[in-house]
Chains A and B, each alone.
Chain A
Amino acid sequence: MWQNILEFFQTSGYAGFANSQMMVLRFIPGELIMIVISCVLLYMGIGRKFEPLLLVPIAFGMLLSNLPFGGVFTPAEGGQPGGLIYYLYYGVKMGIYPPLIFLGVGAMTDFGPLIANPKSLLLGAAAQIGIFIPFVIAFYLGKAFPSLGFDLKAAASIGIIGGADGPTAIYLTSKLKPELLGPIAIAAYSYMALVPLIQPPIMKALTTKRERQIKMEQLREVTKVEKIVFPIAVTIFIGLILPSAVPLLGSLMLGNLFRESGVTARLSDTAQNAMMNILTIFLGVSVGATANAARFLQPQTLMIIALGLFAFSCGTACGVLFGKIMCAATGGKVNPLIGSAGVSAVPMAARVSQVVGQRENPENYLLMHAMGPNVAGVIGSAVAAGVMLSFLG
């Protein structure tokens, strides 16, 4: 009996710490550090309100999977069922959750400002250059320091952080480099939350006071028919040019069609509420659970965090610079500040454009003009992910 009791205590989490395979500085078990990190992420999500809908499930998933012997992420083996998150993770592994979440995002998105001002699509394209610059750098880093393990697939997964679009980043990474899901998802959502801190200095550095004061013409009204035809036409157009973008873009556009058709309100409502919330919980918890100590507590995690910040900055800069080109080309009708919204991070980036613009000229209302590049950025990063997938997937 005492023998059995002793064995029982051998299965406690403390015993798990003692036998951890990942001792940092030779005496701190890696799992414990991961638990602390997950608490910090919970604090960021709850205390600081950084994208809490995703960061809270991600952080809690990380917490659960790092409790030694907790078994929530244990694979099924030899007839024994696996842990809960092992099953939830299937939806990530098979690329099911991100497109279905995009369905909900589509049902929430109003493409009206983009239809009213189609040129803003180009700003959404320009900001995606912020995906490719860190891709190049990550690739050369990987060549220089092979121990980082940054091959092309890893580089593409890092670059996509610059797309500022969570489901796209998770979808691409799950296809190319699932072992990096944890740090990439955390970086993507954290920087999306930090957009109001990251963007303004870059925006100011690259524009003149005069440019920032430009007022833009009011947008035309968009008819209901245009809004209905838009998602269908986008699916066909881009689906024919770049088939690998169909899963993400097609779902986004189907959700948007549910929203705009006027006859499928039931489906639109469920897609953006019950279904999306369920999938968000499942996605967050299972992405978080991939971040185990042995994988996460590595130099490349820090590198990913750093490159992610760089990616966001590149995207912002490219958007603003292209805005300046459009400003020049239109004879000063485009305020370059709306270019930064092209990174997506809907709707924060558009609000940042509004705030920065209004600070220079209190009567300047850029919000609706920035929403165009903002939603274009969602399409743009899905296209970029499609290209990555068709070369590397």
Chain B
Amino acid sequence: MSAVAAPAPARAAAGKPLPPVSYKAPIAYGAVAAVALLLFGILPASGRETAFTMFAPGENIQFSVPSKLTAIVLCLIALGLAAWSFQAARTRRKVGVWLPAVYAVVLVFALLTWAVAGKAQPLPLTSLLQGSLFLAVPLVFGALAGLVSERSGIINIAIEGQLLAGAFLAAVVATITSSAYVGLIAAPIAGALVSALLVVFAIKYVVDQIIVGVVLNVLVVGITSYLFSTVLRENSATLNAPERLPTLPIPLLSDIPVIGPVLFRQTILVYLMYVVVIVLQVLVFKSRWGLRMRAVGEHPKAADTVGIKVNRTRVWNTLLGGAIAGLGGAFFTVANGLAFGKEMTGGKGFIALAAMILGRWSPKGALAAALLFGFADNLQVVLGIIGTPIPSQIMLMTPYIVTIFAVAGLVGRVRAPAAEGVAYVK
């Protein structure tokens, strides 16, 4: 179903399926786990404890584990997983995604156990997850925006601009109407307007889509900063003081230990994000709209020959994408009750673009990639809070380095929609 599905059985059955034995992955797993065992387990002094906390309804659960022993056990589990994957490779069996996932979780915990060992502050697990989700929100919206338009064949480099425009309009409208919700409704309009420019130039005037996208980012930064310096500066109370969206805990669900408060004590924007991810995941791959959108992005001429209006489909999807990004832009202002500030999206649109590619143009992939980035970013924050001897600038690099490792090590070659970036002119 997903675009990167395994090859169909037709041919595999025909030939003799004898996958080449590749030990690259197992060796990498093993090497990293061994280094981790040395660094986190064997070398550090013994006798220290690592404390963790997590929220449960009404209380804070705190527990401690012996650092050295725990780290050693975790690293050994990772080594075991490496051995498992080695065995799987030897017998030519495919391992599921669970293996790298569990492996990564285990090693991250080993790292945390080591990093927090002996610290006065416990490691707040709930808070770690909460912040990861928080930082991932705009990335998820941005990545989904890119996905919707790129799946239909229009490259959307303008995500950053769409986020920024959404943030701007949401703040201004929310302030004027004194309603965060009205601001939230305005945000997608701003994003869609940016998309409208994108489609006018990319489809009507057949300008290279990347050029348009790059330039639109500059344009939106220019316009919003200009208006901020001129109009908003003088009237910040009347134009740029948005209300905050209220937090709406979902009864029962929000009381689940650890993940309840993380997932279900959120604003409507985050719930919308869940909805959008799930709905898109279903619709992109299972609905008429999704099928047509993907057809137009993969092989527009084929779509045309079955009566699908290629450019119309592209226009609507790109506008929809812009609207989704615009909605994500509301995160920066009304969702958190913050006033608009110059360039306040701080390059998140580009990270979202990376998340979309890393997630292979699928909604759940985009979600996973955004969460990975959010987690890496927040891990850096949380470790900073607990106290680390590493300079802040180096800590701040973490999420970017993690992303490079993810794209180089785990993902490798990804396949973009085939007709992406190519104007459809009959």
Chains A and B come from one and the same complex: no
* Chain B positions near chain A (C-beta within 8 angstroms): none
